[in-house]
Amino acid sequence: MFTNPSISESPVMAGRRNQLVAELRQKGIADEQVLQAIGRVPRQLFFPKDFEQFVYRDAPFPIGHGQTISQPYTVAFQSQLLQIKPGDKVLEIGTGSGYQAAVLSAMGARVYTIETVLSLLKEAHKVLKILDNQLQCFHGDGTLGLPASAPYDAIIVTAGAPELPKNLTDQLAVNGRLIIPIGDQPDSQTMYRFTKNADGTFKKESFGPFRFVPLKGKEGWN
Ligand code: SAH
């Protein structure tokens, strides 16, 4: 379960976080559960040191290894599409900094997250275990999903996929939602939500253009 850490932060940081929440609301994020979660997660814990002034800007930022911490708007947008109820089991592909995983945890989800770059996963895990001691981090190829804990009420992919990975649709519960950016270029995608029907077919909805780093792995870009 998510617990607010007793970190010491300046009122300036807390003020910037509130401003970010207001900015996201202005940009059309309406889900209060999402906005509250973003208001509770200290993004500076997931951010490279010495770049304090960038922490609460609504922009992506490099975290090393050619990867980025997603733009807060994108985190909010994907989180909103997931339609999470407290207690839902959620799988995230692409832990990266760990920020998106923390936001899901703050929304009341039971979070499983998988990352292919071990050093990123280790950094993220250090912070995530302080915020949620039940959140589970895994190292591996997320295009294979995480069959041991399937099925999931929701799956979120935070890197751009060339196609829909079959392992992920297989590991979705009935009524489960898969949020995934897909595109035929490694750096340009459309956001999709696939919702699993009782007969195993999917309802497919699209939500406009986004730009993610490429999803690698067996069912990703190589
Ligand atoms: N959710 C992250 C954003 C991550 S950027 C955050 O909140 O900061 C996308 C991440 O996906 C990168 O860290 C990249 O290493 C990872 N990734 C790419 N392909 C992957 C795969 N097949 N399995 C797991 N992680 C993958």
| Domains of the chain, each with CATH number or no CATH | 11-210 (3.40.50.150)
CA dihedral (139, 141, 143, 145) in degrees, to 10, reads -40
Q: What pLDDT sits at residue 78?
A: 98
Q: What pLDDT sits at residue 217?
A: 98
Distance (Å) from CA 158 to ligand 1 centroid: 6
Q: What pLDDT sits at residue 27?
A: 98
Evaluate: CB of 42 within 6 angstroms of ligand 1. no
What residues contact 128, with CB distance under 8 A and at least 6 apart?
98, 101, 102, 105, 113, 135, 137
Evaluate: CB of 152 within 6 angstroms of ligand 1. no
Clarify whether 79 is annotated catalytic.
no
Residues of the chain with pLDDT under 50: none
Evaluate: CB of 171 within 6 angstroms of ligand 1. no
Pocket residue to mutate for ligand 1, from 158, 166, 189, 211, most atoms within 8 A of Cβ: 158
- Which atom of ligand 1 is nearest the CA belonging to 99? 7
Distance of CA 99 to the CA centre of its chain: 7
Evaluate: CB of 213 within 6 angstroms of ligand 1. yes
Pocket residue to mutate for ligand 1, from 104, 216, 219, 221, most atoms within 8 A of Cβ: 216
Distance (Å) from CA 100 to ligand 1 centroid: 11
Q: What pLDDT sits at residue 86?
A: 96
Q: What are phi and psi of 202, to 5 degrees?
A: -130, 140
**pLDDT digit string, tens, across residues 94-126:** 999 999 999 999 999 999 999 999 999 999 999
pTM (2 d.p.):
0.97
Q: Which candidate in 8, 70, 105, 188 is catalytic?
A: 70
Q: What pLDDT sits at residue 100?
A: 98
Amino acid residing at 44:
Q
